[in-house]
Amino acid sequence: MLLDFTYYNPTKIHFGKNSLEKLGDELSLYGKTVLLVYGKAAIKKNGLYDKVVAILEAAGKKVVELPGVMPNPTYAKMQEGCELVRAHDVSLILAVGGGSVIDCAKGISASAYCEEEPFAKYWLQYQPISNKTVPVASILTMAGTGSEMNGGSVITHEDMEIKAGRIFPPELYPRFSILNPKYTLTVPKYQMVSGVFDTMSHLMEQYFCGTDISTTDYLIEALLRSSIDNLRAALKNPDDYEARSNIMWNATMALNTVTGLSKTQDWQVHMIEHQLGAYTDCAHGMGLAAVSLPYYRCIAPFGLQKFARFAKEVWGISAESKSQEELAGAGIDALEAFCKECGVVTSLRELGATEEMLPKIAESSFILDGGYKKLTSGEILEILKQCF
């Protein structure tokens, strides 16, 4: 059944080779002090840091910095940013980096003026945001998470051993995001592949649910095909601007909510991977791919028609002389073969998990019921063992 929906996405996207030129005009809409949030050394090495700081200075801004945001950004790091916002009366939080940096910036925006404990209030209890927030914007350097055009923020609380995602309070959508595919040309192969599998996982989480075939499903199939074709092109020639552009825009489109409209959505793979990430700090896209294969084999019998369509429409597998079960299975096999072809790590052991972690990951994973089958913790453990 098609669900009613509301769609509203206020993020302005500047995309392309010359998109950084738009930063100056955008900055004129905000106050004096900008908190620049970024990761480890990458943007200093490739010169982007210097360019951004020069534009900020030319715009007359006072720059406060929060460097060192790690993959799977922590609650502690976010709190550091909150202190800076309060101490300097920050008008705009500008994230320069990948999804982790943007997620951290959004977490700071939501939490800086929260008088209660923000992780409990916003990430665990999912309360609406009731305090003042600070506008967020982003300059994206890696494709995958889609954080540049949504209100999501995934934060890891180290003491609690919980990685929790908050989706999608309207206040946290970036006001603008600058997407220059050239910045992604230097992203290492491992990270590029991980990013594309993150995108593909977002699409599959939204696709595998419901009995209707809505326009949203057609759009998801298109973005999956574009992800597959363009990852192949970029692996063949890492300097292919067109392929990198498509990979970048696929990632944005895959999680700006357009591809979830009218659908219940699954997201169980992400729930499991979040806990895997809390224990191992593995590359998010790789973790998702590893969990996806046994998970989809587990749930396919409960959504056969859609899995058969996936085989046909996404992987171009002929339905001829195949039962629906065989066709559905062939689609998941094609996904697995594509993982191998692209060098995706699909073993949890190789991603840093130990056997002792598996029951803890299974026990602590949130269980959702938007997909074809609601799992038990026991079934999650079984899935984890299958990809260990």
**Which residues contact a copy of itself (rule: CB under 8 A)?**
2-19, 22, 212-216, 218-219, 221-223, 225-226, 230, 241-242, 245-246, 249-250, 253, 258, 261-262
> How far is residue 163's CA from residue 155's CA, in Å, rounded to a whole number?
6
* Beta carbon nearer to a copy of itself, 12 or 385: 12
Shortest reach from residue 212's CB to a copy of itself, in Å = 5
- 316 vs 229, 296, 319, 343, CA distance in Å? 12, 18, 9, 22
* Beta carbon nearer to a copy of itself, 24 or 68: 24
> How far is residue 258's CA from residue 216's CA, in Å, rounded to a whole number?
7
Shortest reach from residue 211's CB to a copy of itself, in Å = 10
Shortest reach from residue 143's CB to a copy of itself, in Å = 11
* Beta carbon nearer to a copy of itself, 92 or 300: 92
> How far is residue 200's CA from residue 147's CA, in Å, rounded to a whole number?
15
* Beta carbon nearer to a copy of itself, 180 or 364: 180
* Beta carbon nearer to a copy of itself, 230 or 268: 230
* Beta carbon nearer to a copy of itself, 8 or 60: 8
CA dihedral 242, 246, 248, 250 (to 10 degrees): 180
Shortest reach from residue 239's CB to a copy of itself, in Å = 14
Shortest reach from residue 99's CB to a copy of itself, in Å = 19
Tokens, residue 159: 């003491």
* 137, HSE (Cβ side, Cα atoms, 13 Å): 25
* 251, HSE (Cβ side, Cα atoms, 13 Å): 30
Sequence-separated (6 or more) residues with CB below 8 Å from residue 80: 66
User: What type of residue sits at position 318?
Assistant: S
Shortest reach from residue 15's CB to a copy of itself, in Å = 5
